[in-house]
Structure 1
Amino acid sequence: MSDLLEHSGLELSALIAGKDVSCAEVMDATLTRIEAVNGPLNAITSLRDRDALMDEARQADKAEPQGWLHGIPMAIKDLAAAKGLPNTMGSPVFADQIAGADDIHVARLRAAGAIFIGKTNVPEFGLGSHTFNPVFGATANPYAPGRTCGGSSGGAAVALAARMVSVADGSDMMGSLRNPAAWNNVYGMRPTEGVIPSEPRGDTYLQRLSTNGPMARSPRDLAALLDTMGGPDPRQPFGISLPLTLPEISAQVTGRWIGWLGDWGGAYPMDAGILALCETALRQMEEIGLSVENLAPPCAAEEIWEPWKGLRHFAVASSLGPLFDNPETRGKLKQTAQWEIENGRALSAQDISRLSAMRSLWFQRAAKLAETYDALVLPSAQVWPFDVDTEYPQQIAGQGMDTYHRWMEVVIPASLIGLPVVNVPIGFSDDGLPMGLQLIGPRGGDGRLLQLAESWHAATDWPGRCPPTLAT
């Protein structure tokens, strides 16, 4: 494998800016790598023609840089529109759709100089934390090719882990940035809701459960991507402007307090070995100067799950409802999508109001915790990567799962109230399966979270452990 591909995005940027390497050399190494490993992994889809991409890279070598991503290859998650590229969302309904314009965060990445080489694979409509769909098939985990890579940003996480790209975009409703990052030994960040805008389509007030975010093999690249992708859209409410996070990422974190929530007092069943690996990581965090305290659950898990499940039903019913109503497309929606829509439509206005009040109460409790703790910590997943042919886990540690997404309940305390979260890699099981921790901060505390992640990365550099099947 080319040594170029071990570099982070910022390192590649510096090499290109200093004329130590050309954009064409980076593109050639990238495409050669994709040709060598993407076949069995199936992370990158809709790959553009090599000659066209090489020509674009050579043109970038002749042009004045417009931003730090100048000449750096990127593949955009297939839930976001990139002009001229397919935008299938993993669905047969949109299998032939070509984007006519960039989504907001994609346009910002393009303006910073990125060259879009294709898309990254997703579950159908991003539903379910396992990347497979009827258009492109399943994406495999590079650390264990017979297992899932997670999702919905699974293709992006695999492309990063397998050194097919240096930086990537993702999105997160129910762990879609955190779960695949954990299972592929990379970093993924769900920013504070409103920092990176989605498209101003339909309702922009009530459905705020999902957000775009950055993925990378280093926190510094996360920060650079966040600074590039972030910034309010004047057409939408609730946008947040953050100070630039990259200039302040190298900070002293000694003395900061971490609240460890574990398995939420036994409410979240866990596969054997996950909590032990997390607790080993917490001891390492103490070694770099953080203070860790075990916390009792701040509320009953069901007080978070109930509003999450209902408001997610409502959000999916709103976004996919027109496809459900169309007889020509309803049958093309997978059953879990139809289940979400049917349940969302069964909710009354009073139901939505009650669920939103429960959501508000949890926000207030979390804000109180933020007065004492710099970050709350939970595992990023409740199970190890499972068989790639399994749709979703039916049980965890002998406890049955009553929905297709209950096995990822551990991610919703942050998702429900739009808090920033960074998945940090924490190592591997005895079988070599990756896992991560969620560092959860207060609203607007994205920069301080990235400081914690950067200190952790400096002490551990887990992503430096390349997938053993690909270290050639």
Structure 2
Amino acid sequence: MTNSPIWQWSAVETANAIRNGEVASEQVVRAHLDRMHEANPALNAVVVDLGEAALKAAKAADEALAKSKRGGNDVGALHGVPVTIKINIDVEGQANSNGVVAFKDNIAPGDSPVTANLRKAGAVIIGLTNTPEFSLRGFTDNPLHGLTRNPWNPAITCGGSSGGAGASIAAGIGTIAHGNDIGGSLRWPAHCNGIATIKPTQGRIPAFNPSATAERPLMAQFMSSQGPLARRVADVRLGLEVMAQRDPRDPWWVPAPLKGPKREGAIKVALARIPEDMATDRGVIALQRRAADHLADAGYAVSEVEVPDLNKVWQLWCDLIMTETRILQQDQMLAAASADFKKTFHGFMALANPLDQAGYMKAIAERSRHIRNWMLFLEEYPLVLAPTTVRQTPEVNADLGGDQRVKEIFWNDLRFISSINVLGLPSAVVPVGLHEGLPVGVQIIGSRYREDMCLDAAEAIEGKVGVLSKQLWARSR
């Protein structure tokens, strides 16, 4: 084991150290709680401290490990390892507030599938992380828990909606953070905070909230994914394996293998060509091209290619998600929302084409055509290397600057992110370096249920770049 503090260990290292008796879970959990109490006041990333329950769970984990060794039984993959959960999924006995004041007493009657799977693997939940209201902004702030800051620079956003998860992991609070992604909410915070993640294929990780009083709209179900954020790609892989276990409460869960067939020869990677109408930051684009060089050095065959119908795919995502929200959720949301949320919401609605019943049905049909086009493209280029954003990370709450600013961020900067949700494809994000002192990540998109290929490529880039959080921690010494 390394000489670094316990809270800096990876999830894989931590799990192995606990399993091998090199350290007790209670000691590990105390180290992460101490780190949380040290770093979190400046960040406000963890908004519900579950330290007392976590220490009890850690003691129970140590006792269970001792018993398993006597009986010859193995323990779970994350036995005794500290993790965090985003406040928009159910943790039994805790409020699933989703960042909304009106939901502060929405106590979960049971665990969501992700929470249950983490517990079954032996993980210890040390806290719940922040999200914007209704998890429907790319900037993490709400009137219930307040603003979450980016550990690299408090003036820039930590992203959203899994901003609390991203900021906490980058700062060293927990080994794996849970998040979710309906329009970039795993990948955008990973980029902003200099960490790694995977947005899995739709149906890979089961989802359900026992506290929910109604089912989500259909396209929202198909576009949303649960997933892990971590400092190392190997930890993202481990988190995916744990979270992806079957739960019968999700009818869309698919029992697909986590590892697909090995491809012969050099894997072709399409370096996504940037549309001419996108305003870009030269330094950010240069780092993304460096990622292509890293993949080429690792034996991948990289060539710059235009991806299928990016603009139309993004618009389809926006039209479908906003139509469902407008018809089924808007009135309830706006009745409970803050003035800040309403500003951003208006900006999103201004980007969408309002669909009537026939238009909505045609848009769903059109989705199949776009997925088919991308699947055929991925037959030739099994991976796509694309930007997360094409410009520098914006300031805190930049989306409150009016409709035009919302359009700049979500149509111009993040077009490559949200498009992937409507397609249901897996996409990893891994840091590629710093530009003007701020982290920059790249996105690696794969075919359905080929998260393994996305993560393999992400690890190849990580092997060249290293773990960016170490540079963050070195700054604060």
TM-score, with length taken from structure 1: 0.89
Q: Which of 276, 285, 295 in structure 2 is aligned with 1:275?
A: 285
Alpha carbons 1:86, 1:97 under 8 Å: kept: yes
1:230 corresponds to? 244
Shift of 1:271: 2.9
Q: Which of 171, 191, 206 in structure 2 is aligned with 1:197?
A: 206
Deviations 1:44-83 (A, max 9, x none): 11102x4443333222211136412111111101111111
Q: Which of 420, 440, 444 in structure 1 is aligned with 2:445?
A: 440
Q: Which of 89, 107, 111 in structure 2 is aligned with 1:102?
A: 111
Counterpart secondary structure, 2:472: coil
1:79 corresponds to? 88
Single out whichever of 1-10 and 185-194 deviates more from structure 2. 1-10
Shift of 1:175: 0.8
1:288 corresponds to? 298
Shift of 1:92: 1.0
Q: Which of 158, 174, 180 in structure 1 is aligned with 2:189?
A: 180
1:423 corresponds to? 429
Shift of 1:95: 2.0
Shift of 1:254: 6.6
Q: Is 1:257 aligned with 2:263?
A: no
Deviations 1:338-381 (A, max 9, x none): 77689999532111122223322211211111111120121112
Q: Which of 371, 389, 397 in structure 2 is aligned with 1:363?
A: 371
Single out whichever of 209-218 and 199-208 deviates more from structure 2. 199-208
1:53 corresponds to? 54
User: 1:292 and 1:422 mapped to 2: Cα distance?
Assistant: 17
Counterpart secondary structure, 1:145: coil
User: 1:394 and 1:410 mapped to 2: Cα distance?
Assistant: 22
Counterpart secondary structure, 2:306: coil
Q: Which of 449, 452, 464 in structure 2 is aligned with 1:459?
A: 464
Q: Which of 2, 10, 17 in structure 2 is aligned with 1:15?
A: 17
1:24 corresponds to? 26
Shift of 1:421: 0.2
C-alpha change, 1:371 and 1:141, in structure 2 (3 Å) is: same
Counterpart secondary structure, 1:140: coil
Alpha carbons 2:294, 2:460 under 8 Å: kept: no
User: 1:464 and 1:262 mapped to 2: Cα distance?
Assistant: 29
Counterpart secondary structure, 1:214: strand
Count the aligned residue pairs: 460
User: 1:206 and 1:434 mapped to 2: Cα distance?
Assistant: 32
1:242-253 alignment runs, 5 A limit: 242-245=256-259
Deviations 1:78-130 (A, max 9, x none): 11111122321111111233222111111111111111122011111111211
Alpha carbons 2:315, 2:352 under 8 Å: kept: no
Q: Which of 347, 361, 381 in structure 2 is aligned with 1:353?
A: 361
Alpha carbons 2:99, 2:145 under 8 Å: kept: yes
Alpha carbons 1:231, 1:240 under 8 Å: kept: no
User: 1:10 and 1:223 mapped to 2: Cα distance?
Assistant: 10
User: 2:475 and 2:62 mapped to 1: Cα distance?
Assistant: 30
Shift of 1:459: 3.1
TM-score, with length taken from structure 2: 0.88
C-alpha change, 1:242 and 1:385, in structure 2 (3 Å) is: same
Counterpart secondary structure, 1:25: helix
Gaps of 5+ in 2: 69-74
Counterpart secondary structure, 2:155: strand
Equivalent residue letter for 2:272: L
Specify which structure has the higher proportion of helix. 2
User: 1:174 and 1:206 mapped to 2: Cα distance?
Assistant: 12
Counterpart secondary structure, 2:414: helix
Percent identical residues: 29
Shift of 1:337: 4.1
Equivalent residue letter for 2:187: R
Equivalent residue letter for 2:452: G
Shift of 1:186: 0.8
Alpha carbons 1:317, 1:344 under 8 Å: kept: no
RMSD between superposed Cα atoms in Å: 2.9
C-alpha change, 1:310 and 1:70, in structure 2 (3 Å) is: same
User: 2:187 and 2:368 mapped to 1: Cα distance?
Assistant: 23
C-alpha change, 1:281 and 1:403, in structure 2 (3 Å) is: closer
Single out whichever of 137-146 and 447-456 deviates more from structure 2. 447-456
Q: Is 1:221 aligned with 2:213?
A: no
